[in-house]
Chains A and B, each alone.
Chain A
Amino acid sequence: GENVEQHPSTLSVQEGDSAVIKCTYSDSASNYFPWYKQELGKRPQLIIDIRSNVGEKKDQRIAVTLNKTAKHFSLHITETQPEDSAVYFCAASKASGTYKYIFGTGTRLKVLA
């Protein structure tokens, strides 16, 4: 069945360093890729998304890259801060109908002060 693999499951970085989280999807028809951040005890919230007609998208310290040929996409966080500590989920979806997501298993990011 459709699947999204996410790595690493945990990631610790020093404050100010960069963090990279990688996801691979199986369904070549997927064309919408959101990233969600879930802080401890809170609901997941969208932080950035990318559609398959775009190779890269940036929003301040956050960027997402997409390689359609290899079927993988990555989240890059630069100049990490303690408030970036959270669980991050990638997802893949087809941008039609219900936009049903297949989520990755999550990455727990710890930013060490």
Chain B
Amino acid sequence: DVKVTQSSRYLVKRTGEKVFLECVQDMDHENMFWYRQDPGLGLRLIYFSYDVKMKEKGDIPEGYSVSREKKERFSLILESASTNQTSMYLCASSPRGEQYFGPGTRLTVT
């Protein structure tokens, strides 16, 4: 079974804090993705990575950055958290085709 884990299920941070969300997969997948999920907006792609140290912007990259130093780990960084970044964050990994999702991190920025 493919296993994708995320560092926290729930996180509360203050405006202006730097926030790290981590995702780990155990299936040696090349591709990893970060999405945010908001009611009525579906899943929107923030960033993705197709190899170690390689990354590309998705549809809504503003206010976010990512890091992929090891194949199994893909980190999402909020440089200075703002209230409009309160959301559910989902990580996914993929060989080619099907994407396997992590359980999600519900981030609240106050």
Contacts and interface: CB of A to CB of B under 8 A. Distances in A.
Interface stretch (A13-21, A53-61, A71-79, A92-100): A92-100
B106 to A, nearest CB: 10
Interface string B87-106: 00010001011110111100
B43 A49 contact: no
Interface in A1-59: 1, 6, 9, 32, 34, 42-46, 49
Interface in A72-113: 89, 95, 97-106
Contacts of B42: 6, 89, 103-106
Contacts of B59: 1, 102
B68 to A, nearest CB: 13
Main secondary structure of the interface of A (DSSP, over half): loop
Which of A32, A44, A45 counts the most chain B CB atoms within 10 A?
A: A44
B109 to A, nearest CB: 21
A103 B94 contact: no
A43 B50 contact: no
A100 B90 contact: no
Contacts of B45: 100-103
Contacts of B48: 98, 100
Contacts of B43: 44, 89, 101, 103
Contacts of B30: 98
A43 B90 contact: yes
Contacts of B33: 100-101
Contacts of A42: 103
Nearest to B32: A98
Interface string B33-64: 10100001111110010100000101100000
Interface of A: 1, 6, 9, 32, 34, 42-46, 49, 89, 95, 97-106
24 contacts: A1-B59, A32-B97, A34-B97, A34-B98, A34-B99, A42-B103, A43-B90, A43-B101, A43-B102, A43-B103, A43-B104, A44-B43, A44-B90, A89-B43, A95-B97, A98-B30, A98-B31, A98-B50, A98-B94, A100-B48, A103-B44, A104-B42, A105-B42, A106-B40
